[in-house]
Structure 1
Amino acid sequence: MTATGLAARQPTGTAPAARGFKLTWPVVLLGVAGFLALLSLVRIVTGATDIASGGTVSAALSLAVPIGLAGLGGLWAERAGVVNIGLEGMMIFGTWFGAWGAIVTGNPWAGVVAGAVGGLLGGLLHAVATVTFGVDHIISGVAINILAMGVVQYLSKLVFAPMRGGGETQSPRIPGIDRISLPGIGEPLRQVESNGWFFVSDLAGVLRGLTQNVSLFTILAILLVPLSVFLLWRTAFGLRLRACGERPVAAESLGVNVYTYKYLAVVVSGALAGLGGAYLSIVAAGIYREGQTGGRGYIGLAAMIFGNWRPGGLAAGSTLFGYTDALQLRQGGTSVHALLLFVALILAAVAVYQLVKQQRVRAAVITAVSAAVVFTVFAVTDTVPEQFTSFTPHLTTLLVLALASQRLRPPAADGVRYRKGQAK
């Protein structure tokens, strides 16, 4: 089957559709520079020196990786038409099996493989339930989440509790994965960052966080994003898989084994979520603890939706959630309070864009009012209560999904029960 066999054909005699805004690398880099300049301005105004420091960027990267891996897993499944609410449970399997594999072999990379296999088994169970037996995707995913919590509790009592340094809710220490740094630039970047210059110091902080003391597992996780782009959007395999999530009956009529592609997608989805779980236990904590995922599977799913079922948007969403989490962990109320000014400025810019470019007066007014409320909160307070800062990543998830809901377009057959030979 060729790409033209599944591509939508334009009716004869009609004018070509107008091309929308195209996201190119120069545009992306310009946008990143704009955000960094705005962050630098907020840093100077508020004195919150940590909002773009190397430590914050490094922590944000570490916190974004498991969310991104879970979201990437959701992307694979939903592009094939299977909703995967079970990402959280597959991550839970990944945390336990990743720790177990690393401990029994003494090799953390064996733990990475074991974590992927643990998540893969969860994905296989989800595929059997939804693809073969036609179980509702949401029900199957929730069942896997519940099952995973019970299974790892039992396994911990059976395996980790008798081990020295282990217990019923945690494992012994896990051997770590090597970290690398780009030589010769760490100290110069630190010196530039410490000067507090507008934009330049913040850029140095970002570069230091991205190039110093980075885990090899982090690099592997980042490389999985362009690999997924290539496989899903640049190969015949990816075209057929995405066709199963858009028009499975049409794909079947062209000789695609829809069941096989759905199975492959959901199994890969589980393996990616398992990798995210293994990252939490092996790299982020160096130990397995019960409840370690902390809802990151759900946040990963939110990042995927925020990214409109595209890898680039997913990476941006994961970075956003990781960044807000890093801020509340490093400086708590001070940095989150400074972030309120940043959010108010962003909302004001969005309101202007909606009014001038999109001619959406009502949406612009609502956004402008929201910006005014956020700025008022920033102006009348000096810090943010600790109870609120711990909720910041989850609140960010809700706000992002609310703001992005108008432009979302999931695969047409996402979550739809498919049976071979059905009429439509």
Structure 2
Amino acid sequence: MNKIFKFSNELRRMINNQKDYQLNLENEYKCGIISVADMQKEIEMSKTKELALKRKLVAQVHIKANGTPKSIRYEASRDLWVTKISGDIRLHARTEELLIDKILDYYDCYVVANTLEHIFELAIETKEKTDNCSPLTIKRLRQEYNHFISDEFGKRDIKSISKDDLKAYTNEMLERLNPTPKAFLKYKGVLNLIWRYAVEYGYVQVDIVKGISNQQFRSKCDNSKPKSKEKILSRDDILRIQNEIYRRMQFARYNGYFIYGFMILLAIETGMRAAELCSLKWADILDNRMIHIHSQQLSNRETGNRIVYYVPWTKDEKGISQGGRYYPITDKIAKILLNLKTLQEEKHIASEYVFCDVNGDWITVGAYQTCLRRLMRSMGFSITRNHAFRMSLNSNEFIPKGIPVTDRARLLGHSVETNLRHYSYARINVDDEIRTLLNG
């Protein structure tokens, strides 16, 4: 046993040497001693050696009663690496390396530095397993971590970070990224995820994120409101887009069925989200009086392929159907829907979905957004997202026509606060109209 113990200690020393070597390479790059290519090449080689050493160490400590190594296997059905510790105790992880780190951590080998990055990965894995959250939520959290947490800070051991250290990094991040107050709250969400997990599982004793005052730091954020031209389209812009769509409907390449054009026309009139447009069914058109908006199309990546699926709730309902919302069918909306239905009948296109291809398959959000983006860019617009139609409808039509904010929020499917804070912009190119009103 003494030989095994000494051998394990020697492996730990060699692993830590590789970690130190990687940090030295990063410091040499920062000082201009080596190029980024050389640094990346050497770090990759070092990490390969480190993983090999970790495998040897696991083989020493993760053993059966007869002294042979316990099995570590990949379960393709769950896309997980798994191993059995003892009895009902099992460990699993998304990658072999992360599972090896967990095993060594379990046996108190202390070769895993409890870095922010490492704790974040553990917290994400636990959240994915216990909170039943969507893959989109996990993807968003990873994107936010990568955006707000620098590589250098992510490599810090969480135990070594004090409240003052966290405040200093937050100030540095604010100067570097100049986020909006809303973006700052996303940064706080990442910190909360990391430290709450660390406290719950005993990596640290105190949640220092509680000492980070939102008010104190949000005042240092970019509090300027975007200009109208950066968020919405003018009525003239909308008219240009509508005319361009009707022009493109005559293009030979669409064979008389420019389905994306119909989607854009309805988005302009209703402010429906892209995912809501794609999941809209003819059964949701109620007696040509109301559109029942109560679903959306979501997507997920499984085994390398992206799949799309229907869910019976909208974005604002957050996974629990509350009946959706109803939008009144105006004369313009009725004309769009009638023209589309007539065209589909003429071409013998049958589908339960309003927006479908010639085979009756529903349109995906990605395909719609790609077409919209290309159309808008070809017309010289910097605004290329479907979201602009929601905001333009609110600012150009709802507000000037005196629709109360409670109804504006209800029609668009969000809160009154959201409507006032994020959707209400001054109209563009309306000085002549205002002059006429003032003269009158």
Q: TM-score, normalised by structure 1?
A: 0.23
Ranked by relative contact order (alpha carbons within 8 Å, sequence separation 6 or more), the top structure is 1
User: Relative to total residues, which structure has the larger strand share, 1 or 2?
Assistant: 2
Bigger radius of gyration among the two: 2
User: Relative to total residues, which structure has the larger helix share, 1 or 2?
Assistant: 1
